[in-house]
Amino acid sequence: MRGRLISPFLFIGETMSRILSRNPYSQKETFWHDNNDGTYTIETKQHIKAVLEANKRKANDYEKGSLIGNTQRHWQHVAEIPNNLYLELMQKFGDPKDNPEASKKWKQWLNDSDNRFFRTGGGSM
């Protein structure tokens, strides 16, 4: 049975996997993997190419100083983070609106050059 798709299970080598959910809107898939030692792993994958492309367009459209003199725009969109990553970061750092220390950690994460593709505005926070 190796390498064959057997509904609802998928065998990959010696590991048995099963898709638990698929969301076409968020492009998220959740899998259950049997580790063959009595344990299992839940894996969630999310395709983020569309988010990264939208972030690039927003970053290119960003105009420094666009909020100056505009009394109706009090918020500035600084980043777009995929849901899976957002939930992971909320668990790791906490909610920034409730905790100043968490806010510092979020800001540090967003300003890291490795995470620049999630930012939608110019410069750093």
**Are the CB atoms for 1 and 11 separated by under 8 Å?**
yes
pLDDT reported for residue 14? 57
CA angle 35, 41, 47 (to 5 degrees): 125
Q: What residue ranges do the domains of the chain occupy?
A: 5-46, 49-118
Position 117 pLDDT exceeds 80: yes
Query: Which pLDDT value is given to residue 51?
Result: 86
Residues in the chain: 125
**Close Cβ partners of 29 (under 8 Å, ≥ 6 residues apart):** 19, 21, 22, 23, 44, 45, 46
In angstroms, the CA 121 to CA 125 distance is: 9
pLDDT digits (tens, 9 = 90+) for 78-115: 888 988 889 889 999 998 888 888 889 999 999 998 99
Average pLDDT rounded to a whole number, residues 49-54: 88
Residue 48 is which amino acid? I
> Tokens 């967003």 identify what position?
110
